[in-house]
Structure 1
Amino acid sequence: MQIRPATEDDTYAILDIVAPTLAAGDTYAISADLDDAAVLSYWLGPSHEVFVAEIDGHILGTYYLMANQQGGGAHVANCGYMTAPAARGRGIARAMAEHSLEMARQRGFRAMQFNHVVSTNTLAVALWKKLGFAIVGTLPQAFKHPEHGYVDSYVMFRAL
């Protein structure tokens, strides 16, 4: 597996991963009915440094790295990760997470924080815990899940 910075040539492969994930409406606190331009604007936004994970030339995952806040909070990183549905369970999310931690360190970040980890996204919560993240806050019923209704979201944090 190679994880590398995304290029313009990766746009449609990224869209093929990000659009259906957002449309499912069960993991990201963003509108589920975005058109392709809005999906790409969100994922490839100017504050995001975007990476892709590929095997044999096929992009199977993507993540972005950014400062969680500006000013006095700019030393804490934030990321978003997505894996192609057909590639789940192959270690791609873990590899991207480990890569992002290293990239964050290289860029001078001192910590990483996830602001809104949906509690029903149990695979992500378990992975973040395995990688040293702690739940530092619970946002009661902060996410309206399409299947489970109002569920908690977690703020997860780890020092780098």
Structure 2
Amino acid sequence: MSVVQHGNAFIRPVRLEDADAIWELECEIVREGEYFIAVSEEFDKTVEQQREWISRVLESDRETIFVAEIDGGVVGVIGFSSPNRKRLAHTGSIMMMISKEHRSKGLGRVLLQELLAWAEQHPLIEKVSLGVLSTNHRAIALYQKMGFIEEGRKVKEFKMSENEYVDDVLMYKFV
């Protein structure tokens, strides 16, 4: 897949050397405490584990990762993983992360467009799914604009604090 330009950002397939930058982005988002399931004190992923994940995806014919790069730095990432089961091989789920300072600038839309274009070209992929915190209104609005439909909710799935719960909104799109 080719490189796509969006303003000063370039959307491209992941490379193994992106592991450090993706790990740092993930750490940044975990520290924010709003959009990630893990909290800082339990987040223990290593850069080596990030490399292993990227290596596995690069070797897979049913998974992919795209990054958004600005001035040589990774500021966003979207990944697609598909279960290794015959009856689920037509499905897969996405995860997306964008650095705080680069949100609301269209990067999520462009990353999602690239991933969906990849999925539409893939001979096995029929359904793309995701889960998003019900408090992440910008992400939900983006997914809806891109044709995703709410499939269901896991009510009070995440306990954010003593008396604050958040639903896990399950969404899908057929490609």
Alignment TM class, shorter chain as reference: 0.7 to 0.9
Match of 1:131 among 146, 152, 156: 146
Spell out the pairing of 1:1-160 with structure 2 (5 A cutoff). 1=5, 2-30=10-38, 32=40, 33-37=42-46, 40=50, 44=54, 46=56, 49-67=64-82, 70-108=85-123, 109-114=125-130, 116-146=131-161, 149-160=164-175
- Matched AA of 1:21: I
The answer (yes or no) to whether the contact 2:16–2:51 under 8 Å persists in 1 is no
Residue-pair matches, total? 159
Rg (Cα) greater in structure? 2
Contiguous gaps of at least 5 residues in structure 2: 58-62
The share of aligned pairs that are identical, in percent, is 28
Deviates more, 1:134-143 or 1:145-154: 145-154
Q: Provide Cα deviations, 1:55-108, integer angstroms capped at 9, x if missing partner.
A: 343322111111156321120121101111111121111110111101112223
The answer (yes or no) to whether the contact 1:26–1:146 under 8 Å persists in 2 is no
Distance 1:68 1:129 in 2: 24
Deviates more, 1:145-154 or 1:82-91: 145-154
The answer (yes or no) to whether the contact 1:23–1:34 under 8 Å persists in 2 is no
Closer, same or farther in 2 for the Cα pair 1:27/1:147, shift >3 Å?
farther
- Matched AA of 1:91: G
CA shift, 1:14, in A, is 1.1
Distance 1:52 1:65 in 2: 12
Closer, same or farther in 2 for the Cα pair 1:40/1:142, shift >3 Å?
same
CA shift, 1:17, in A, is 1.1
Contiguous gaps of at least 5 residues in structure 1: none
Closer, same or farther in 2 for the Cα pair 1:140/1:20, shift >3 Å?
same
User: Scaled by the length of structure 2, what TM-score is found?
Assistant: 0.78
